[in-house]
Amino acid sequence: MVRHWEDFHVGDVIEVGPVTVSEEEIVEFALRFDPQPFHVDAEAGRRSPFGGLIASGWHTTALFMGMFVRAVLLDSASLGSPGVDEIRWTAPVRPGDTLTGRSTVTDVQPSSKDPRRGTVFTTNEVFNQDGVLVLRLRARGFFARRAL
Amino acid sequence: MVRHWEDFHVGDVIEVGPVTVSEEEIVEFALRFDPQPFHVDAEAGRRSPFGGLIASGWHTTALFMGMFVRAVLLDSASLGSPGVDEIRWTAPVRPGDTLTGRSTVTDVQPSSKDPRRGTVFTTNEVFNQDGVLVLRLRARGFFARRAL
């Protein structure tokens, strides 16, 4: 059953993932979108405060999105997102890390403009294989409402 | 001269870009990180409320980061970022769009924990070739302070 706006409830928890990220993927993403030395060069990473190569925070965010889309949005009536209310990169993501995500529905609101859609608010947390929180993300998404 | 924390001042405006995004790049990014139909399939995009293929918001954000890193961070004492305070995807980004960015420094704060670094707060806006705002992003970054 395709998930519509009415199918999200405050307190729902959805587990997503896992995904493992390689050094090659970290460097490839960073060369295109965030070529700071500690994201593209292992030796520069070792000399940095991070003590080694780390993924761009935008890569971590994109990896979470990939997990969330495959677990939730592809089988939903998603109508996109107006934005994100907070991102915190709370610990580095390093080559070989395996990430899992946990999304909690914090609010659901019908649209005041369009009776055919509503907004779902979530707080999303991503953990590495040691249970360390690496990303916290408060987001909102639009979903179609079920036809009456 | 490498830009340190002291070199950012409230009200500074930095223009970054441009970058042009192709349909191929939009689909490639989305297949990996956000494979919703309207991001990966032109026909599905036409049938969606967006009226055509549009870039993942995370792709738009990454494209802005690429411009900002190349214009500012690569020649700076950047120490990474703890996070972002707000993202708004205010209009779709479509194949062939050319984006430019404008970053405004809104606050600068020395670290209360580490006298060797400080935080720079920015509001960043990305526009397409028609001057339409497609992304607004409030961010913060850590920078080393100049050695005394």
Q: Using one digit for the tens of pLDDT, what is the confidence trace for B30-41?
A: 999 999 999 999
What are φ and ψ of residue A66, in 5° steps? Answer: -55, -45
Q: Band the pLDDT of B148: cuts 50, 70, 90.
A: low
B86 in contact with A, Cβ within 8 Å: yes
Residues of chain A with pLDDT under 50: none
User: With an 8 Å Cβ cutoff, are A88 and B82 in contact?
Assistant: yes
Which of B16, B20, B34, B68 would you mutate first to test chain A, the one with the most A CBs within 10 A?
A: B34
Q: For residue A47, what are its two tokens?
A: 């000399």
Alpha-carbon span A101 to A68, nearest angstrom? 8
* DSSP codes, A52-87: S----HHHHHHHHHHHHHHHTGGGBTB---SEEEEE
Output the CA–CA distances (angstroms, integers) from residue A85 to A33, A137, B84, in the order listed: 22, 8, 8
- Nearest chain A residue to B72 by CA distance is A36
User: With an 8 Å Cβ cutoff, are A57 and B83 in contact?
Assistant: yes
**ipTM of the modeled complex:** 0.96
Cβ pairs bridging A and B (under 8 Å): 92
Residue A1 pLDDT: 78
Q: Which phi-psi region, left, alpha or beta, contains residue B80 (left: φ > 0; alpha: ψ -120 to 50)? A: left
How confident is the model over B6-45, as pLDDT tens digits? Answer: 999 999 999 999 999 999 999 999 999 999 999 999 999 9
User: With an 8 Å Cβ cutoff, are A63 and B33 in contact?
Assistant: yes
Burial (Cβ within 10 Å: 0-12, 13-18, ≥19) of residue B54 = buried
Asked if A126 contacts A134 with a C-beta cutoff of 8 angstroms, the reply is yes
Question: Of B61, B69, B83, which has the smallest distance from its Cβ to A86's Cβ?
Answer: B83
User: With an 8 Å Cβ cutoff, are A86 and B85 in contact?
Assistant: yes
Which amino acid, one-letter code, is at A39?
A: H
* DSSP codes, B57-70: HHHHHHHHHHHHHH
- For residue B50, what are the contacts with CB-CB under 8 A and spacing of at least 6? A80, B38, B92
Mean pLDDT over B86-100 rounds to 98
Output the CA–CA distances (angstroms, integers) from residue A69 to A15, A23, A51, A74, B34, in the order listed: 12, 23, 32, 6, 6
* DSSP codes, A22-56: -HHHHHHHHHHH---HHHH-HHHHHHSTTSS----
Q: Tell me if the bond preceding A18 is cis, omega within 30° of 0.
A: yes
How confident is the model over A68-99, as pLDDT tens digits? Answer: 999 999 999 999 999 999 999 999 999 999 99
Mean pLDDT over B59-83 rounds to 96
Instruction: Select from 3.10.129.10, 1.10.3720.10, 3.40.50.2300, 3.40.50.2020 the CATH code of B5-144.
Output: 3.10.129.10
Q: Where are the domains of chain B?
A: 5-144
Q: Bridge-partner residues for A83, per DSSP?
A: A140, B88
Which residues of chain B make contact with A69, given a CB cutoff of 8 A?
A: 33-36
- Nearest CA among B44, B138, B38 for reference residue A69: B38
Alpha-carbon span A14 to A71, nearest angstrom? 9
User: How much is the pTM?
Assistant: 0.96
Q: Which phi-psi region, left, alpha or beta, contains residue B42 (left: φ > 0; alpha: ψ -120 to 50)? A: alpha
Which residues of chain A make contact with B38, given a CB cutoff of 8 A?
A: 80
What's the angle, vertex CA A87, arms to CA A83 and CA A91, rounded to 5? 155
Mean pLDDT over B112-118 rounds to 94
Question: Of B33, B78, B83, which has the smallest distance from its Cβ to A88's Cβ?
Answer: B83
Q: Band the pLDDT of B74: cuts 50, 70, 90.
A: very high
Residue A77 pLDDT: 95
Question: Of B32, B65, B86, which has the smallest distance from its Cβ to A34's Cβ?
Answer: B65
User: With an 8 Å Cβ cutoff, are A86 and B84 in contact?
Assistant: yes
Sign of CA dihedral B3, B9, B15, B19: positive
Residue B1 pLDDT: 78
Alpha-carbon span A89 to B46, nearest angstrom? 35
